[in-house]
Structure 1
């Protein structure tokens, strides 16, 4: 079941956008991609760890690149009822940004991440795993 990962091609939409239709369209796109990749008929009820990495294209600076904390809420909301029952199940979360105009060395690249790099466009990589056991954390 887990880990589960997928990519969404395109520039993510911030939950703070004034264009609410664009935000609804983005959430629908994320949900649609997740549903097409999710191998189960029902969402899981377990605690989860989620990592969202925004691979953005900014060759001349980062103006116009949304803050990572503003792009994760629409993604987390879109996955409600698909991968997990509700995003309260996310006990561990990481959000990252990476400029596609840099070099990367990736060991053990997943097919989902390879698909994103081969797309030649900005994308989000979403990885969902079983949450670590809190009794084993330092």
Structure 2
């Protein structure tokens, strides 16, 4: 039941880095996002699965984790996610409200899918661009 899935879903900020996500895990979650509704049925969002350790290590320093926790800089080695799905758009004609709403919808689909697979996740929009 969807209510049970929503209740079980959480934002995790510490992960078990010994569990290595595979490309297929991320592709399964992207499939859920791909079929999620979006404004104007524009299909302008793109999804980039990242699971290679060397690329993840390059991305971690640019992520802003839990901004309200001033004394915490995010997960340390051994506690970081082993997969990231970047949700991007190069559609310049959409206003930020539509873009933010649609990114939220697809991100929630991804999070619920992760919960169903007994995985965890965290939506992060704050990053050092």
In the superposition, the TM-score normalised over structure 1's length comes to 0.30
| Structure holding more helix per residue | 2
In the superposition, the TM-score normalised over structure 2's length comes to 0.31
| Structure holding more strand per residue | 1
